[in-house]
A and B are shown apart, each in its own frame.
Chain A
Amino acid sequence: DAKTTQPNSMESNEEEPVHLPCNHSTISGTDYIHWYRQLPSQGPEYVIHGLTSNVNNRMASLAIAEDRKSSTLILHRATLRDAAVYYCILRDYGGSQGNLIFGKGTKLSVKP
């Protein structure tokens, strides 16, 4: 799976939007972009994923650049509960169901 690059940490104020960037310049045409997050003392949880088009769900939005070399996870109104480590992961749809390769992720802090 291709590698992703994320900032180590970001800060946000409560109830403000947060844009978490991810660079994946070596992405292949068959790679899906997945985001997971890990709240303190919990297991990771799925957030969202996409291939080419922007995606929205109840948790977040995923904006994918036209050349697919970068993407941005958008939390529309950060809450204290959104403080977590966010992981951007590429998964080749030609591969298997396994092998989520977690990098170091971005640690998001939310200030009240």
Chain B
Amino acid sequence: DAGVIQSPRHEVTEMGQEVTLRCKPISGHDYLFWYRQTMMRGLELLIYFNNNVPIDDSGMPEDRFSAKMPNASFSTLKIQPSEPRDSAVYFCASSSSRGAPLGSYNEQFFGPGTRLTVL
């Protein structure tokens, strides 16, 4: 299995531009998560999907951020317009609910991340 795939790995853009980050979860996983990591705030959950449906987007910082999951094998995180404070590493993760003992959780598998720099 190739694991969670994210693209691009690095993105440098100018303030005001639209940025789209892409994620392909592990095949068969029914949960997909978007996280952001900065030195100041650490790792924080932005949004997560179950069976392609957004479940909790309370971590999305503001309306400039949007996420979609049009099918089970693809998700995007879009920032429009981008600002310098959006510079961070964005991680996508996926997990499966199958086989988890009652009351337990299956592990989340993280992608390698996209390092975004907004100038």
Contacts and interface: CB of A to CB of B under 8 A. Distances in A.
A71 B113 CA distance: 29
State the main secondary structure of chain B at its contact with A: strand
A107 interface: no
Closest 10 CB pairs of A and B: A43-B110, A46-B107, A93-B103, A102-B43, A98-B48, A43-B91, A97-B31, A44-B110, A43-B113, A43-B111
Which range holds the interface residue count of chain B?
A: 20 to 34
13 contacts: A32-B105, A43-B4, A43-B93, A43-B112, A44-B91, A46-B107, A91-B105, A93-B105, A97-B31, A97-B105, A98-B33, A99-B48, A102-B43
Contacts, number: 62
Interface of B: 4, 31, 33, 42-45, 48, 50, 55-56, 91, 93, 95, 97, 103-113
B104 A93 contact: yes
Contacts of A44: 43, 91, 93, 108, 110
A103 B105 contact: no
